[in-house]
Chain A
Amino acid sequence: MRSFIISSSAVKIDRYYDKNFKELAIESIKDLEKKISEPLEPEALIISSVAVEHLDRQSNMAGIIADYLGLRNIRVYRVESGEASGLAAVQIAHSLVSSKAVKKALVIGVDKLSDMPNAKIAELYSYLKDSDYIQIHGVSPLSEAALLAKIYMKTYDYSYEDLFIWPFTMHQNSLDTPHAQLRFKISPDSYKESPILAEPLRLLDSYPFGDGASALYIVSEDVAEEYDVNVSIEGLSSSNDVNDIASREDLLIFSAVRDSFIKTLKMADIELGKLKYIEIHDNYTPNAFIVLESIGLADRGKAPELLQDSMIGSAHVNLSGGLKARGNPWGATGIYQVHEIFSALLGEFKKSVLGEIEYAAAQNMSGCGDVSYSIVLKRVR
């Protein structure tokens, strides 16, 4: 039971004070529409957004965007699964198409973190944690990631400077990513001198707050056959962990990330070595290393040593620049990741590095691996 992606697009992640959520979402499908040979007539619209209620006082976002797009008598859904909302929305589209409920589904991810001051965005980010018992302490994924960084460094004997390889590589990679929010190199000094967010983590260990929207057109096999190039969703799965990291028995492996990745590879019926390109969810520097080790690209504690020129093992990782430099507009992030790996399979993204590849994957999670989704795409012809 497969579904196919035939078109995608993404706006540059930036500050769009002049555009509201609807306008940014609609902006994101302009390119997508140009790349298909028929009128855009989805039978389902799935909107991924984490914070539209809080940032824009808006519910029923899918119904309203459908209205602005002139779509009538279709199925509409708004999906929210924390920072993993993007791939959760793709999973809904894939399920609708592969179960033959619809033939064409349009998925749009959108969030606008520039619409409010940073302290408000930090508050909304803490909403990813249990509101009764965790948020009340002022805990957010940032403080959790800071604790993980200290535990990671002590357990595996790394200095803070040793972690620089990740943000450095991400900023290197984003230089030629057209939709990246940050396109500049960073030096060890700028890393060590950037403001502290939660020690030891500094600004350059985190992602920039920005506005973004990205879109995918997911269709059934008979629709896809009319196109020269076919990219199929071969595997797509998810998993969860306890929301409270203090209760985890093993803090240095994200079990939801590992479990969802294993299930996704199994569904796609491939080994990890087949993947030449993977986009991972690196909301904070330590999380990037823990994710790489959780999905099996590096042994425990080895990711910082093994990473070379954005390659780890046989896979290129986060050629976009990742959340760190491409950006992390929450509900849109997973859609950006799929846009990137889909475009790479078409030979339209990072071709000089990747050449022609058959398989690519993305991993999209919330907080410190509270829930995680993975997807494997294959170029079929």
Chain B
Amino acid sequence: MMFERSPAKIWRNRDVLYRLKYSYCRDCKRSFYPPRGRCIYCGSSNIEHRYSSGRGVVKEFTVVYQTPVGFTDMSPMVIGLIEMEEGFRLLAQIVDVKPEEISNGMKVEAVLRRMIVDGETGLIYYGIKFAPLIEKS
């Protein structure tokens, strides 16, 4: 029995995939995700790594029907362009809401969900998706 995806690969990316570790550039004051050693905007290596609150806003979204292998059971799948509180943007799935109820400007928060089931081994890979923000009183 063989893995289609390396379990080690998912494990070593845990801070980025599960805790939304991102980069903040001390020189140009911009943030970006996934983290890199150099700023993607100004090229500076004066970078620090930070962790996101997990809260953001939907800037745009699409409902995807032609999904890749590994995601076919999630079809139709919503992919959102999400702007996080810390200023960086990322693409991720939006769940727990019907596509017709999603709108641009909607507040969302990161939730831990099943991402992919490995075809042959059945090993489940988890990751971050986004769900409508539940405001706590």
Contact = CB atoms under 8 A, between A and B. Distances in A.
B60 interface: yes
Contacts of A187: none
B2 interface: no
A137 B91 contact: yes
Contacts of B116: 136
Given A150-B60, A247-B33, A132 B89 contact: no
A197 B77 CA distance: 11
Contacts of B93: 137-138
Contacts of A138: 64, 67-68, 70-71, 74, 77, 79, 93, 115
Interface string A232-265: 0000000000101111010000000000000000
B13 A199 contact: no
A132 B16 contact: yes
Contact-size category for B: 35 or more
Contact of A246 (B65, B67, B81): B81
Nearest to A118: B66
Contacts of B61: 147
Contacts of B60: 147, 150-151
B15 to A, nearest CB: 11
Nearest to B70: A123
B64 A198 contact: yes
B24 interface: no
Contact of A245 (B70, B91, B115, B127): B91
B3 interface: no
Interface in B48-71: 60-71
A26 interface: no
A119 interface: yes
A133 B16 contact: yes
B124 interface: no
Interface residues of A, number: 38
Given A138-B74, A198-B65, A198-B66, A244 B34 contact: yes
Interface string A125-155: 1100011111111111011101100110000
Given A136-B127, A137-B93, A247-B32, A119 B79 contact: no
B121 interface: no
Nearest to B129: A137
Given A138-B64, A138-B79, A246 B91 contact: yes
B63 A144 contact: no
A188 to B, nearest CB: 21
B13 A132 contact: yes
B92 A147 contact: no
Nearest to B115: A136
B98 interface: no
Given A119-B72, A137-B92, A132 B9 contact: yes
A105 B62 CA distance: 44
A196 interface: yes
Interface of B: 9, 13, 16-17, 32-34, 40-41, 60-72, 74, 77, 79, 81-82, 88-93, 115-116, 125, 127, 129
Given A146-B62, A151-B60, A196-B63, 14 more contacts: A122-B68, A136-B17, A136-B115, A137-B92, A137-B127, A138-B67, A138-B77, A143-B62, A195-B65, A198-B62, A199-B62, A199-B63, A244-B34, A247-B32
15 contacts: A119-B68, A130-B34, A136-B125, A137-B93, A138-B67, A140-B68, A142-B64, A143-B79, A146-B62, A195-B65, A196-B65, A200-B62, A246-B91, A247-B33, A247-B89
Q: Please list the 5 inter-chain residue pairs (A to B) with the smallest Cβ-Cβ separation, ordered nearest first.
A: A146-B62, A123-B68, A123-B69, A133-B34, A246-B89
